[in-house]
């Protein structure tokens, strides 16, 4: 990127301003692909509604973004964690320490998906900023062979991954501030696309009431208190009665609300 070739000679304020401005381009790029994201929402909603599973598959930053989004769906929306899962090149250790050569092992992606039980009626969402990572490409190929839906997020609309996916979401972010460092705009755009997809799918499946997380999993003090506030707000109850309903409903706000509406 021409604007950042003298990055190492700039002041802290100038470096921050440059990175921040480029991050804005990632947001713009995602906005341009909202129609493709909507196609993805429809496909993934159908898969989960019919009992299928959704797999986020990727390597490096892309894989970590997929793992992060999959991990946050169960506590936020109460979905069974087996329904949306992540397949990360290099395994769980790659979440905290880079395993760079793992992205080149396409056969590992096939093996991991086979072991996970990928089948007709499931969906694979392969994530790769460059769109030519063997791990992601093999995942798409195996999904197609298995009869599963096969979607992709990549920053290159002309890449093999984009061409191989039935639905390709391609936010074109342009060159990175640090040349080739797709953990920057590429990773940011992928994170935005992922939370657009997962949040909208969960809304369409009924895991949200209004804008409230009524199906959250109450496995921490913070989430239990949030569930209490949700029950109080939806039913217009005082704290004592809301707690009674929650206690009778296993702490799940959605069940407490249903019980309160019936009684």
Tell whether pTM > 0.85. yes
Confidence tier at 18 by pLDDT (50, 70, 90)? very high
What's the pLDDT band for 5 if we cut at 50, 70, 90?
Answer: confident
Rounded Cα gap, residues 171 and 147, in angstroms? 26
Residue 181's pLDDT band, with cuts at 50, 70 and 90, is confident
Contact between 40 and 47 under an 8 Å Cβ cutoff? The reply is no
Above 90 in pLDDT, residue 162?
yes
Annotated catalytic residue 103: yes
Which residue among the candidates 72, 166, 244, 258 is catalytic per the annotation?
Answer: 72
Residue 1 confidence (pLDDT) above 80: no
Q: What tens digit of pLDDT does each residue of 78-108 get?
A: 999 999 999 999 988 887 887 778 888 899 9
> d(Cα 221, Cα 259) in Å, to the nearest integer?
22
Residue 134 is predicted with a pLDDT of: 95
Q: What is the pLDDT of residue 96?
A: 83
Can 233 be counted among the known catalytic residues?
no
């Amino acid at each position: 990127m021409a604007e950042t070739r003298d990055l190492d000679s700039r002041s802290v304020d100038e470096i921050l301003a440059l990175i921040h401005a480029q991050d804005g381009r990632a947001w713009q790029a995602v906005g341009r692909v909202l129609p493709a994201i909507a196609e993805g929402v429809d496909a993934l909603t159908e898969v989960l509604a019919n009992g299928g599973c959704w797999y986020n598959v990727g390597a490096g930053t892309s894989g970590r973004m997929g793992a992060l989004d999959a991990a946050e769906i169960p506590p936020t929306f109460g979905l069974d964690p087996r329904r949306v899962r992540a397949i990360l090149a290099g395994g769980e250790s790659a979440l905290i320490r880079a395993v760079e050569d793992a992205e080149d092992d396409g056969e590992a992606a096939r093996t991991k998906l086979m072991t996970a039980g990928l089948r007709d009626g499931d969906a694979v969402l392969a994530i790769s900023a460059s769109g030519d990572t063997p791990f992601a490409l093999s995942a798409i190929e195996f999904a197609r062979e298995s009869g599963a839906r096969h979607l992709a997020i990549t920053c290159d609309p002309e890449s093999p991954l984009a061409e191989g996916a039935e639905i390709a979401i391609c936010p074109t972010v342009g060159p990175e501030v640090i040349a080739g460092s797709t953990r920057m705009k590429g990773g940011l755009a992928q994170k935005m696309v992922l939370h657009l997809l997962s949040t909208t799918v969960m809304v369409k499946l009924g895991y949200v009431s209004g804008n409230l997380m009524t199906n959250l999993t109450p496995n921490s003090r913070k989430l239990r208190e949030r569930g209490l506030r949700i029950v109080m707000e939806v039913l217009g109850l005082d704290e004592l009665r809301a707690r009674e309903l929650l206690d009778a409903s296993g702490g799940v706000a959605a069940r407490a609300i249903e019980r309160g509406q019936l009684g």
